[in-house]
Amino acid sequence: MSITLINLPHFLCRMKLAFILLIATVSSELDINLPADLLSDLVERSEDNELAYSLAEGEEEEEPYKYVINYEGTIDDFSGINASYGKCGKEIEQLDVSKMKAPHQIRLSYTGKATEMAITWTTNDTTEHEQVNYGLMMTELNYTSTSISHQYKWRFNETSKEWYYTSGFIHEALMINLIPGRIHYYQIESNGMKSEIIKFVAAPEEGSDIPVSFLHVGDVGTFGTSVMVTNDMMKRMEVKQFHGMIHCGDISYANKYDGERPMDAKNKTFAEQKVWDTWGQMVEPVGSKMAYMAVPGNHELDIWDSTNENGTIYAKRFIMPGNERYFSFAVGMVHFVAVSTDESIDAESTQGQWFKNILTEVNENRDKWPWLVVFQHRPIYNSNKNHGNWTGKNNYSTPFNPVHKGWPDNFEELIVENNVNFVLAGHVHHYERSWPVRNREDVLLSYDNVDRPVHITCGHAGKGLYQRMWDFADRNTYDDKAPRFSAARDNENWGHCELDFIDTKTAKHRMYLMGNDTPTEEVTITRSGARRLTLSVILLVVGFVTSLLTDR
């Protein structure tokens, strides 16, 4: 029996409506549904009732386009990497999305419900048959979810009267009725082709005490080092079951000039949207098998740094809960809260009010979610001299350099008050782990019975490392003594991080350097049992005391 799901959730509908809002450099085409008479000219049914392309008379079939990423490569196999100076080298070959017929750039994401998993993929064209089939067994993919499809164009060339870039068709669907904590299988049918059958694990039911494991990275890009770090995570997935990935911003660097991209003469920028496709394909072995949860960084959201992407491309390519820039979701006994560091978070701001409300709600239910994790792009605790501790204002001068209020004062007050356990970040291209800390100087030099946040910056997942100071190239970014809050730091090696929530009291943090199959760091953290009483407990105590007084 096949069940077709036609009622899309509010968050998907909202996303597609948002695409109607155009900015000067972006054009969007929505919900591609070709009429049946046109489809009959484009496709034909083969004997096994599968979609097949029909070639025009005299047309020769082209050699299938192949795109291969050298995951097993070493530093010597990629051009321009210099580990001694933290240089990540040139970007890998860019994918040509116009030639990719098969479903690719496949990526899963959580919606906030343990019974759901969102999915997105890309093809170079569409048919009337765009869906994902899924179920509990590889041989019984009994559920079907149809997708919605969209496409966008980037930068119009007035001379050639052509768009600088046209995306593939980005498809989005929702798998529902999942069984929390169970393995599921899915296969995409799209553009007349099928993906392989892929498995994933649905989120454990909220409040369950099932161990939860996540990978987390930041500042990745599409460089040789990015590929090697991704390969390390792929190898870890072969020996360990992860529930998801946290990507703390600066995702593809599609806007960032590295000396190799063609220049857009009209706009005087080196933005290259193909890099988004390359990155999407590079991380597919990870994102197709677990929820890939991302938050935008300055290279996706900041108007100056993102070459006017302004978050629009991030929104077109990712499916995140809420408004997609700041949101929350739960996985078993862990509640994750994502915040946008390129927006204000003071008490008067929309994000600040939302942040306070969601932290309060979670903290009043710590019996259900004993672990509370905040993830973001820019860290408020950082000892690398190339980026100061995030205060809400960039330390460089640009035509557009706004002040984002509430960093770090209101933000830290809220995470301390609400017993946040971990704050994960990127932005600074190094690795750093703090001691449990609050108010800059109040440091606990132990991970036992922790009652304040531990800050972990994992910004060494692919982009060039911050070894030398921007202003003084002969000086190391660590030339000063590490501040008291800094427990460990590394600006000489790329790598990735992992967090295991073993039970309601114990978590384990690991950091793997690139190319290593054993962790360089493995730290066990036990959280304090002290937490604020929930409202229900307070009412129970008040009621008990009242009854005693009444009896007297």
Closest to 24 in 3D by CA, of 403, 310, 285? 310
- Read off the pLDDT of residues 268-312 as tens digits, 9 standing for 90 and up: 555 689 999 999 999 999 999 999 999 999 999 988 888 788 899
Other Cβ atoms less than 10 A from the Cβ of 519: the count is 17
Can you give the pLDDT at residue 156?
83
The DSSP bridge pattern shows strands 212-217 and 198-201 to be unpaired
Mean pLDDT within 310-317: 94
Q: Is the pLDDT of residue 343 over 80?
A: yes
Contact between 443 and 485 under an 8 Å Cβ cutoff? The reply is: yes
Q: For residues 307-332, give the mean pLDDT.
A: 94
Can you give the pLDDT at residue 16?
40
Handedness of CA 514, 515, 517, 520 (dihedral sign): negative
Nearest to 227 by CA among 369, 68, 442: 68
SS3 at position 25 = coil
In the structure, what pLDDT confidence band is assigned to residue 55 with cuts at 50, 70 and 90? Answer: very low
| Beta bridge partner(s), residue 524 | 508
From the centroid of its chain, how far is CA 250? 9
Instruction: Summarize pLDDT for 245-276 with one digit per residue, the tens.
Output: 999 999 999 976 555 566 655 555 556 899 99
CA-CA distance, 420 to 451, in Å (whole number)? 9
pLDDT of res. 39: 26
Q: Are 230 and 286 in contact (CB under 8 A)?
A: yes
What are 482-524's pLDDT values in tens digits?
Answer: 999 999 999 999 999 999 999 999 999 999 999 999 999 999 9
Characterize the bridge pairing of strands 506-513 and 495-501: antiparallel
Q: What is the pTM of this model?
A: 0.85
Tell me the Ramachandran region of residue 199: left when phi exceeds 0, alpha when psi lies from -120 to 50, beta otherwise.
Answer: beta
Q: Please say whether the beta carbons of 233 and 261 come within 8 A.
A: no
Q: How far apart are alpha carbons 179 and 519 in whole angstroms?
A: 32
- Give the total residue count for the chain: 552
pLDDT in tens, 523-549: 999 999 744 433 434 434 434 444 444
Task: Report the 10 Å Cβ neighbour count for 504.
Answer: 15
Residue 162 pLDDT: 87
In terms of pLDDT, which residue wins out, 404 or 23? 404
Query: pLDDT confidence of 394, banded at 50, 70, 90?
Result: confident
Q: How confident is the model at residue 29 (pLDDT cuts 50, 70, 90)?
A: very low
User: What's at 254, amino acid-wise?
Assistant: A
Per-residue pLDDT reduced to its tens digit, 133-178: 999 999 999 999 999 999 999 888 888 888 888 999 999 999 999 9
Judged against a pLDDT cut of 60, whether residue 202 lies above it is answered with yes
Range 386-401 average pLDDT: 84
Residues 375-394, mean pLDDT to the nearest whole number: 95
Q: Is the pLDDT of residue 11 over 90?
A: no
